[in-house]
Amino acid sequence: MARGWESKAVEDQVADRDLQSDQNPDGKPRIDGARERNRQELELQRERVLSERTASPYRRAALEAALKQIEGQLAAL
């Protein structure tokens, strides 16, 4: 039974530490992990669209539309 109380106390300590440390050691605010991953994913998609070359005007229009949408999502972040 004591072991259960110990693990709960450790869990509470970790949760308290996480709540208290809203900033990184360098003083900058923490960035939400999911938001940061989403931003990185959008930047990778943007790079892929920019690196693609095509002679087809239809494909080029589709790529330009995709690029515009990606850049809009990045601006919203």
Q: Is residue 51 part of a domain?
A: yes
CA distances from 11 to 2, 5, 70, 75 (A): 14, 10, 40, 37
More confident residue, 1 or 43: 43
Asked whether residue 54 is assigned to any structural domain, the reply reads: yes
Give one word for 27, left, alpha or beta, with left for phi > 0 and alpha for psi -120 to 50.
left
Q: How confident is the model at residue 13 (pLDDT cuts 50, 70, 90)?
A: confident
* Per-residue pLDDT tens over the stretch 19-68: 555 555 565 666 678 888 999 999 999 999 999 999 999 999 999 999 99
- The answer as to whether 60 is a domain residue is yes
Is 77 domain-assigned? Answer: yes
Distance CA 33, CA 52 (A): 29
Q: Note the pTM of the prediction, 2 decimals.
A: 0.56
pLDDT at 64: 94
pLDDT at 17: 66
Strand partners, 29: 23
